């Protein structure tokens, strides 16, 4: 059964929630103005056709006592003034309908001065250009080389402003997303800001399984990472920091880092890991990274099971390719990279497989085993691909140079 996602804002009167027919579960996202507080999740059999406001109050008082008190004591988030101007970069490939939804949400951003750049990555159809022409504020750029990190690099090079915020075509952003991000850059040490990515909808089993896998949420607490706070594998376990759907950097710092690694992420031979790589390198180069839950993005997960199976394989593959990059690189991080590979395979792969197998034979709800197997297969195959991907990037650069010369 599908899951209904509803936002409840405590700064507004709580209204009854209807339209529940066809859904098996309800997730209420409780927010207090701009600040998300937490989830209240329950089965629909609990409420019938309509959720009464009193029931919502009781549920919040039951499940989110401390977060609500904390939010209340913090007061509403102050309105920010003197925001730095920002560039929003949407990297897309052949998803014109989803892109239109994203651009509509970007048109509603509450920010005085921002530009939107759409990078069309090796398009096979002409839809993207047409969609961009519908929106006057959008700048359209074509990147012929396939690869998400190629598109990202083109994006920040074309950006006019210092704050570069990346998002994807299969998501839509909260109106306060950009303002919250820019607010975090008031601290000059902050070089990278990530945010909370919530599911846009949970209509199909594939989308529910992806949330069961962990989804893209990284919690409702603000966190600051900088090179001084040591922890195991730091900064390689950069899955904690955020994800590529909701990622922003300073353009100046990107220049310093030399941009994204073209050998990584979707469209390349390594199939993923580009966002993990840039976040880890920000920390490695001495910048701080802020995880800011108030910067909300709603991501539409893959709808069908085959897509999800492929995505799980790519996740394992890309993550280990990214670790392979560090295992062959900096001496300081070599050990961490190798240890993280071993431990991740052992804990996230093998133990999870065992636990889910037990649940499966006891007929309990569990994460599908074939997805775990696919992810583990990706983990095993991933590391070899990085070297080949680098070679391909070099070859392409060489070909491009030859073409430019001739």
Q: Point out which residues pair with 290 in neighbouring strands.
A: 193, 224
Kindly tell me which of 195 and 267 has the beta carbon lying closer to another protein: 195
CB-neighbour burial class of residue 118 (10 A; exposed 0-12, middle 13-18, buried 19+) = buried
**Nearest distance in Å: CB 291, another protein:** 10
What does each C-alpha distance from 15 to 34, 39, 118, 339 come to in angstroms? 18, 17, 37, 51
Q: Point out which residues pair with 143 in neighbouring strands.
A: 121
Contact 237, 218 (CB under 8 A): no
Kindly tell me which of 119 and 178 has the beta carbon lying closer to another protein: 178
SS3 (DSSP) at 253: helix
Kindly tell me which of 78 and 188 has the beta carbon lying closer to another protein: 78
Kindly tell me which of 19 and 76 has the beta carbon lying closer to another protein: 76
Phi and psi at 6, nearest 5°, equal -130, 140
What are the residue ranges of helices labelled H in 164-238? 177-184, 205-213
What number of H helices and E strands is found in the chain?
A: 13, 12
Q: Point out which residues pair with 51 in neighbouring strands.
A: 17
**Nearest distance in Å: CB 403, another protein:** 48
Q: What is the DSSP letter of 327?
A: H
**Nearest distance in Å: CB 15, another protein:** 12
**Nearest distance in Å: CB 35, another protein:** 6
Q: What is the DSSP letter of 351?
A: I
Interface residues with another protein (CB under 8 A) are 10-14, 35, 43, 45-50, 52, 54-58, 60-62, 65-78, 180, 220-224, 226, 229, 292-294
Contact 98, 300 (CB under 8 A): yes
The residue behind tokens 């594998």 is: 233
**Nearest distance in Å: CB 300, another protein:** 25
CB-neighbour burial class of residue 173 (10 A; exposed 0-12, middle 13-18, buried 19+) = buried
Q: Report the candidate in 261, 375, 267, 364 with the shortest Cα–Cα distance to residue 316.
A: 375
**Nearest distance in Å: CB 213, another protein:** 24
SS3 (DSSP) at 17: strand
Kindly tell me which of 2 and 122 has the beta carbon lying closer to another protein: 2
Contact 171, 268 (CB under 8 A): no
**Nearest distance in Å: CB 13, another protein:** 6
**Nearest distance in Å: CB 62, another protein:** 7
**Nearest distance in Å: CB 240, another protein:** 14
Kindly tell me which of 65 and 125 has the beta carbon lying closer to another protein: 65
Kindly tell me which of 67 and 215 has the beta carbon lying closer to another protein: 67
The residue behind tokens 């430019």 is: 404
**Nearest distance in Å: CB 69, another protein:** 6
Kindly tell me which of 71 and 385 has the beta carbon lying closer to another protein: 71
Contact 160, 139 (CB under 8 A): no
Kindly tell me which of 67 and 382 has the beta carbon lying closer to another protein: 67
Kindly tell me which of 188 and 306 has the beta carbon lying closer to another protein: 188
Residues 6+ apart with CB under 8 A from 213: 312, 367, 371
């Amino acid at each position: 059964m599908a899951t209904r996602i509803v936002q409840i804002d405590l700064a507004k009167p709580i209204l009854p929630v209807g339209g529940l027919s066809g859904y098996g579960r309800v997730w209420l996202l409780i927010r207090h103005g701009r600040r998300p507080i937490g989830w209240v999740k329950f089965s629909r059999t609990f409420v019938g056709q309509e959720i009464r406001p009193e029931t919502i109050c009781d549920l919040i008082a039951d499940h989110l006592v401390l977060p609500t008190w904390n939010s209340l004591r913090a007061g509403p988030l102050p309105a920010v003034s003197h925001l730095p101007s920002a560039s929003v970069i949407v990297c897309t490939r052949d998803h014109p309908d989803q892109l239109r939804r994203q651009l509509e949400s970007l048109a509603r951003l509450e920010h005085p001065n921002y530009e939107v750049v759409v990078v069309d990555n090796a398009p096979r159809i002409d839809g993207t250009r047409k969609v961009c022409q519908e929106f006057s504020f959008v700048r359209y750029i074509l990147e012929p080389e396939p690869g998400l990190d190629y598109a990202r690099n083109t994006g920040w090079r074309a950006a006019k402003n210092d704050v570069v915020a990346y998002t994807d075509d299969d998501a839509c952003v909260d109106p306060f997303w950009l303002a919250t991000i820019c607010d975090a850059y008031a601290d000059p040490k902050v070089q990278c800001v990530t945010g909370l990515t919530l599911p846009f909808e949970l209509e199909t089993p594939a989308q529910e399984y992806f949330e069961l896998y962990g989804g893209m949420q990284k919690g409702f607490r603000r966190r600051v990472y900088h090179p001084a706070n040591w922890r195991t594998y730091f900064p390689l376990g950069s899955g904690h920091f955020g994800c590529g759907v909701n990622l922003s950097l300073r353009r100046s710092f990107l220049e310093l880092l030399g941009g994204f690694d073209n050998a990584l992420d979707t469209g390349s031979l390594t199939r993923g890991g580009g966002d993990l790589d840039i976040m880890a390198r920000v920390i490695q180069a001495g910048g701080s990274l802020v995880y800011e839950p108030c910067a909300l993005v709603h991501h539409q997960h893959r709808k069908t099971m085959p897509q999800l199976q492929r995505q799980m394989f790519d996740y394992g593959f890309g993550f280990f390719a990214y670790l392979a990059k560090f295992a062959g690189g900096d001496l300081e991080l070599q050990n961490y990279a190798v240890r993280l590979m071993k431990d991740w395979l052992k804990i996230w792969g093998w133990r999870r497989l065992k636990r889910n197998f037990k649940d499966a034979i006891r007929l309990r709800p569990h994460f599908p085993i074939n997805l775990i197997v696919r992810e583990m297969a990706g983990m095993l195959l991933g590391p070899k691909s990085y070297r080949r991907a680098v070679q391909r990037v070099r070859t392409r650069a060489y070909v491009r140079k030859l073409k430019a010369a001739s």
